[in-house]
Amino acid sequence: MRYLFILLWLNSVCVARTVELTFPGLQHRVIVALPDNYDPQKRYPAVFYYHGTNGVPDTSLILGHVDSREWIVVGMAYHQLGRFTLSPENLGKELSLLQSVRKHLELKYNFDQNRCYITGFSKGGWMTNMLLQLEPNLAGGAILGAGHMHNLKNLKIKLPKNRAGQNVYLGVGRLDGNYPMSLAAVLFHRGRGSNTTFDPWYGVGHQFPREGSTALHQWFARQLYTDKEIKKVARDEMQDELAQVEDLAPYEQWLRVRQLENYPYTQVLGKEWNKTILEKKLALETKPAVKIEAGFLAQHQRLLVGEVQSPSLKTFQSLEDDYVKLIQKAPTTKQAELARHDQKRVRELLALFQEQAEAEAAEKEDVFDPVEPDTRRRILRNPLVR
């Protein structure tokens, strides 16, 4: 974590050279941050960042997580401002814009088309998820504060063959309403054969962590270097991370170790390091303050899986009751606080499902079984009499 603070500070001091690109039909310009000490003879990877609803093209968040000497960072604009309306036409416009910017960077700034990555937060995260399905020539992407909801096959869009081995990072606040959809994205992209990293941000809602994401920084480093090249750096950084865990209370230690399990550098260090992390986690789960939380978590995760795998009116009706029963088992635990948050989300989704079901039923009745209006006069019912 301390390394990330230094990285963020260095990027605030070393302002990258930027250029602005204008494209027909766009209200905002595309922002391109070129690498520090840019060398026109060198081939560079690029990452394209899509901002959230009502934002503007920006490169600062990504510049805080990559080596700015080695990356072209692009702040992307949208054809459709505000909320995105999903349609083949709208998706086609955004995909065409991405391809146009890529072509321009390849011709003018030596962008390496084989190392093209996309990322985005909120609306940008949903866009990233969809473009990863539409554009086979992407090496990977980072989905932030969003997830997977729409199967583009349902839009009758002809999807290309999956690119084998795409690298996908998913970062989301544990208190974000999009958390279950982010879990769905993990399952979806793993099902497509992608190498996925899941990074839950504990205590965070629908926002990017103020201190940044160490896992995201590591993920970008892995895109730039081979595991062999960064193994020593990875070992030093992860040992430092694990040492910092000792200063926390047992429950917070347990949360942090569970995060470290999924870090990209944990994958770099292989079986030996994974064993160290697992042993630390299991040792913590023997402590009374953690043991009950770990047992609660296992039951809680089963409910989350149900929510992700079969979202329906029937599922959500059952889930709300299941959350109530789960919370009653250990109402004072930290995990129960999370379960209350999830129960509230399920209750709100259940109301939406019911509203949608009623609207569909009314529409079906209007279309397929028209009923003539009853024109008989009658005395209006007194609303105060029950």
Predicted confidence (pLDDT) at residue 289 exceeds the cutoff of 60: yes
Per the CB < 8 A criterion, the answer to whether 1 and 214 are in contact is: yes
pLDDT tier, 369 (very low <50, low <70, confident <90, very high otherwise): very low
pLDDT of amino acid 375? 35
The pLDDT of residue 159 = 78
- Res. 376 pLDDT band, cuts 50 70 90: very low
Please name every residue paired with 46 in a beta bridge, in sequence order, or none if there are none: 72, 116
Give the list of residues 6+ apart from residue 306 with CB closer than 8 angstroms, or none. Answer: 315, 318, 319
Q: What is the mean pLDDT of residues 107-126?
A: 95
**N- to C-terminal Cα separation, the chain:** 62
Instruction: Please give the Cα distance from 124 to 53 (Å, whole number).
Output: 8
Q: Which CATH superfamily is domain 2-224 in?
A: Alpha/Beta hydrolase fold, catalytic domain (3.40.50.1820)
Examine the pLDDT at 181 and tell me if it is beyond 60.
yes
Q: What percent of the chain shows pLDDT beyond 90?
A: 70
Per-residue pLDDT for 315 more than 90?
Answer: no
Read out DSSP for 151-180?
-GGGGT--PPPPPTT-EEEEEEETTSTTHH
The Cα–Cα gap between 189 and 95 comes to 19
| DSSP per-residue codes, 299-345 | HHHHHHHHHHH--SHHHHHHHHHHHHHHHHHSTTSHHHHHHHHHHHH
Closest CA to 21 of 141, 88, 103: 103
Identity of the amino acid at 85: T
What is the reported pLDDT for 365? 59
Cβ neighbors of 289 (< 8 A, separation 6 or more) are 249, 250, 251
What residues are paired with 200 via a beta bridge? 172
245: confidence class by pLDDT, cuts 50, 70, 90? very high
Element spanning 198, H or E: strand 195-201
Question: Which of 208, 269, 279 has the alpha carbon at shortest distance from 237?
Answer: 269
Distances (CA, A) of 75 to 3, 61, 294: 24, 10, 41
Q: What is the pLDDT of residue 377?
A: 32
The mean per-residue pLDDT over the stretch 37-47 comes to 94
Q: What is the mean pLDDT of residues 122-130?
A: 96
The pLDDT value recorded for residue 354 is 80
User: Cβ(268)–Cβ(223) under 8 Å?
Assistant: no
Strand 140-144 and strand 111-121: pairing?
parallel
In terms of average pLDDT, the best of 8-17, 185-194, 376-385 is 185-194
Between CA 338 and CA 288 the distance in angstroms is 19
> Could you give the percent of the chain with pLDDT greater than 70?
88
State the average pLDDT for the chain.
87
User: What is the per-residue pLDDT for 14?
Assistant: 47
Greatest CA span in the chain, whole angstroms?
86
Q: How many residues does the chain have?
A: 386
Cα 366–chain centre separation: 40
Domain ranges in the chain are 2-224, 228-284, 291-362
Helix, coil or strand: residue 107:
helix
Q: At what angle do helices 264-284 and 214-224 cross, to 10 degrees?
A: 140
- Please answer whether residues 190 and 247 qualify as being in contact, where contact means their C-beta atoms are separated by less than 8 angstroms: no
Per residue in 50-87, pLDDT tens? 999 999 999 999 999 999 999 999 999 999 888 888 88
The band of 385, judged by pLDDT with boundaries at 50, 70 and 90, is very low
Instruction: Please determine, for residue 243, whether its predicted confidence score (pLDDT) is greater than 90.
Output: yes
CA proximity to 144, closest of 166, 169, 165, 175: 169
Structure token pair of residue 86: 């999903």
* pLDDT tens per residue, range 199-237: 999 999 999 999 999 999 999 999 999 999 999 999 999
CA distance 67 to 167: 18
Which residue has tokens 């509203």? 355
pLDDT score at 364: 63
pLDDT beyond 90 at 309? no
